[in-house]
Amino acid sequence: MTDNVQLNTLSPAEGAKHPRRRVGRGIGSGLGKTGGRGHKGQKSRAGGFHKVGFEGGQMPLQRRLPKRGFTPLGGHLRAEVRLSELQALPVDEIDVQVLKQAGVVGQAVRFVKVIKSGELSRKVVLKGLTATAGARAAIEAAGGSLA
């Protein structure tokens, strides 16, 4: 590399730039007559193309496969909460509304399940929430309950 690099002397690396391919410009160019499009058919015609997923009239894949799954209008209605997230909350009586206000779950959530992840060392009373067997045992071991 030279020490005298100037903005006006910069240029792309050798072989980095290729000339634009000009199709349909005579037999000598190598891309004359059909211009690399082959003979006949929809793909050879000017303006002749089709929408994404079109299979020449055959039933397209996205229509052959069955519909599956469903997302409710209000988004995801269910959420999971860890024991460590309950530990961080400042209140002892916890329900879905408390979790929403604390920003632990989204506003559209209606059903919350507590999972055993993290530690819980204080007494909490859960109202309207469900819990896994491990989480239930951990809550009760800390002196809490599920109402």
- For 1, the token pair is 């590399």
Range of the domain at 90: 78-146
Does any domain span residue 65? Answer: no
Does any domain span residue 27? Answer: no
Does any domain span residue 32? Answer: no
Does any domain span residue 33? Answer: no
Q: What is the residue-level pLDDT of the chain in tens, covering all 147 positions? A: 556 889 999 999 999 999 999 999 999 999 999 999 999 988 899 987 888 999 989 999 999 999 988 776 656 788 999 999 999 999 999 999 999 999 999 988 999 999 999 999 999 999 999 999 999 999 999 999 998
Residue 126 · residue 144 · CB < 8 Å:
yes
- For 69, the token pair is 């799954």
For the stretch 105-138, pLDDT in tens is: 998 899 999 999 999 999 999 999 999 999 999 9
pLDDT at 116: 95
**Alpha helix (H) residue ranges in 9-107:** 61-64, 83-88, 96-102
Dihedral pair phi/psi, residue 81, rounded to 5°: -125, 135
pLDDT at 49: 81
Contacts of 20 (CB under 8 A, 6+ apart): none
pLDDT at 56: 87
Does any domain span residue 94? Answer: yes
Does any domain span residue 15? Answer: no
pLDDT at 103: 93
Does any domain span residue 12? Answer: no
Does any domain span residue 119? Answer: yes
- pTM as predicted: 0.51
Residue 116 · residue 83 · CB < 8 Å:
yes
Write the CATH number for 91.
3.100.10.10
Number of structural domains the chain divides into: 1
pLDDT at 1: 54
Half-sphere exposure of 71 (CA within 13 A, CB side): 4
Burial of 114 (0-12, 13-18, 19+ CB in 10 A): buried
- For 91, the token pair is 């209140």
